[in-house]
Amino acid sequence: MVSPLVAAARLQTRANAFRLASRSSRFYSTKPQSLKERLAELIPKEKENVKAIRTEYGAKALGQVTVDQLYGGMRGLPALIWDGSVLDANEGIRFRGKTIPECQDLLPKADGGAEPLPEALFWLLVTGEVPTAEQTKAISAEWAARAELPKFVEELIDRCPPTLHPMSQFSVAVTALNHDSAFAKAYQNGIPKAEYWGPIYEDCMDLIAKLPAIAGRIYRNVYGDGKLPAIDATKDYAWNLSHLLGFSDKEAFVELMRLYIVIHSDHEGGNVSAHTGKLVGSALSDPFLSYAAALDGLAGPLHGLANQEVLLWVMKMRSKVGENPSDQDIKDYIWSTLKSGQVVPGYGHAVLRKTDPRYMAQRAFALKHLPEDPLFKLVGQIYNIAPGILLEAGKAKNPWPNVDAHSGILLTYYGLDQMQFYTVLFGVSRAFGVAAQLIWDRALGAPLERPKSYSSEAIKKMFVGK
């Protein structure tokens, strides 16, 4: 049974597809309209839209800023613009207005696949439109064609000691891609501001295309014999990522990667990685430098590294309480974590106040593909217990699980059990949202970010006696 919302979105998509198909057959007899061509059409309209909003509402206030917000990590502070995705505290993420189930329903799939293709999600994030199957395939082919790494970047990764955390290796490699940045070169050659988005787009496409080769190389160097297969230009992005990691023979793993990249791609503008990418990009650092900075933020345990921390925590729990713990064993373990001053990884969120729909999407995947897996059952048991304890402890504003509470056990099931590597996969995914945002920021001429900071002394002086 399809909800009215999904049915309406489907109709809209079919209308879009029809419009696109007829436009492309009129103007491009052999090739479908490319993402860059569509973007070039959308940018002037969006510039007009922003101009109109600023003329009409530019002087309106969005609310008050409290002193607590300055000390409290700016929670709830309205400070950023990003159209790609919006997070509702109770409902979770929508990509260009579409929920995760709607994306699963509407976005093109691989032949024989059931999960949406990340290529299509990128198109959606950039344009707000669902691409046709043909356009999605064209992105797969384009990314495959751009996938090769410069030799010196391969050597740089090969020289990293295997003891260097995979996220640090990842960041080093992405930073080094700046060597060939089209934007950095164009800037040095005096490109005018109105044209920035063109080379930024090229860099973003290169960035996303090269991430599987970086991730695969790190994985094979640290956990294998360092030898990598060639990518297959006829396959999709997630298949090639799986192939470079050594898992493309498991069709369900490839499907997992498709879902994984889609759900981890973007989480509105204010999360640490997305905001870091935007901030660094605002200095006109190229997309490689901007995304390396974003990766460094993603590598923190309160953000993307939490997926590694969850699995470590679950494994430690298992070694303490055994394979089949009672509810009481789990309760005691969670309390011992809290009493020792640590967070329960995978639980809580800065914005969400209900179970993360990304957790639910992964749970649905597990119910379909690995319902009897003992680790999946354990994670489900923890889900039944942890929120009650976090509520009783009374500190966390959100006692429910986030995306990171589930991803590790899915990867472990398929044999990817090297948990230090997990955040690299998150980093491959998050590039989709950050890249889409960098393209639009430069297209719309977003300025250098520079908010005001205050000293505590200044705050006291402002309010003393008032």
Ligand X SMILES: CC(=O)SCCNC(=O)CCNC(=O)[C@H](O)C(C)(C)COP(=O)(O)OP(=O)(O)OC[C@H]1O[C@@H](n2cnc3c(N)ncnc32)[C@H](O)[C@@H]1OP(=O)(O)O
Ligand Y SMILES: O=C([O-])CC(=O)C(=O)O
User: Contact residues for ligand X (CB under 6 A)?
Assistant: 302-304, 306, 338, 343-350, 395-398, 402-404
Q: How far is CA 198 from CA 187, 194, 209, 226, 438, in A?
A: 12, 9, 17, 36, 11
User: Which residues, 6 or more positions from 238, have their beta carbon under 8 angstroms from its beta carbon?
Assistant: 117, 118, 254, 257, 258, 260, 261
Cβ-based nearer residue to ligand Y, 24 or 423: 423
Q: Which of 83, 404, 406, 441 is catalytic?
A: 404
**Euclidean distance between CA atoms 331 and 111, whole angstroms:** 45
Query: Minimum distance from CB of 158 to ligand Y (Å)?
Result: 31
**In the structure encoding, which two tokens stand for residue 293, read together?**
């900075």
Element (H, E) at 448: none
Map residue 95 onto helix, strand or coil: strand
Map residue 348 onto helix, strand or coil: coil
Choose the one of ligand Y, ligand X, none that binds residue 345, judging by a C-beta under 5 to 8 angstroms depending on kind. Answer: ligand X
303 is an active site residue:
yes
**Euclidean distance between CA atoms 70 and 303, whole angstroms:** 20
Query: Minimum distance from CB of 305 to ligand X (Å)?
Result: 8
275 is an active site residue:
no
Query: Minimum distance from CB of 355 to ligand X (Å)?
Result: 12
Cβ-based nearer residue to ligand Y, 120 or 274: 274
Query: Minimum distance from CB of 250 to ligand Y (Å)?
Result: 26
Tell me the β-bridge partners of 88.
92
> Which sign, positive or negative, has the C-alpha torsion 296, 298, 301, 302?
positive
**Residue located via tokens 């955390």:** 165
Question: For binding to ligand Y (CB under 6 A), which residues are involved?
Answer: 267, 271, 350-351, 402-403
Q: How is 61-80 classified by DSSP, letter by letter? A: ------HHHHHTTTTT----
Cβ-based nearer residue to ligand X, 242 or 271: 271
406 is an active site residue:
no
Q: Which of 286, 303, 356, 441 is catalytic?
A: 303
Q: Please give the DSSP secondary-structure letter assigned to residue 420.
A: G
Choose the one of ligand X, ligand Y, none that binds residue 214, judging by a C-beta under 5 to 8 angstroms depending on kind. Answer: none
Evaluate whether 147 touches 240 at the Cβ level (below 8 Å). yes
User: Which residues, 6 or more positions from 385, have their beta carbon under 8 angstroms from its beta carbon?
Assistant: 327, 330, 331, 334
Other CB atoms within a 10 A radius of the CB of residue 169 amount to: 24
Q: Which of 165, 275, 349, 406 is catalytic?
A: 349
Cβ-based nearer residue to ligand X, 325 or 408: 408
Choose the one of ligand Y, ligand X, none that binds residue 302, judging by a C-beta under 5 to 8 angstroms depending on kind. Answer: ligand X
**Euclidean distance between CA atoms 415 and 126, whole angstroms:** 34
**Euclidean distance between CA atoms 198 and 196, whole angstroms:** 6
Cβ-based nearer residue to ligand X, 198 or 348: 348
Cβ-based nearer residue to ligand Y, 191 or 343: 343
Cβ-based nearer residue to ligand Y, 88 or 154: 88
Whose CB is nearest to ligand Y? Answer: 271
Q: Please give the DSSP secondary-structure letter assigned to residue 177.
A: G
Cα dihedral 171, 244, 436, 305 in deg (nearest 10): -50
Cβ-based nearer residue to ligand X, 216 or 345: 345
Map residue 261 onto helix, strand or coil: helix
Whose CB is nearest to ligand X? Answer: 348
Query: Minimum distance from CB of 320 to ligand X (Å)?
Result: 18
**Euclidean distance between CA atoms 75 and 72, whole angstroms:** 6
Catalytic residue ranges? 303, 349, 404
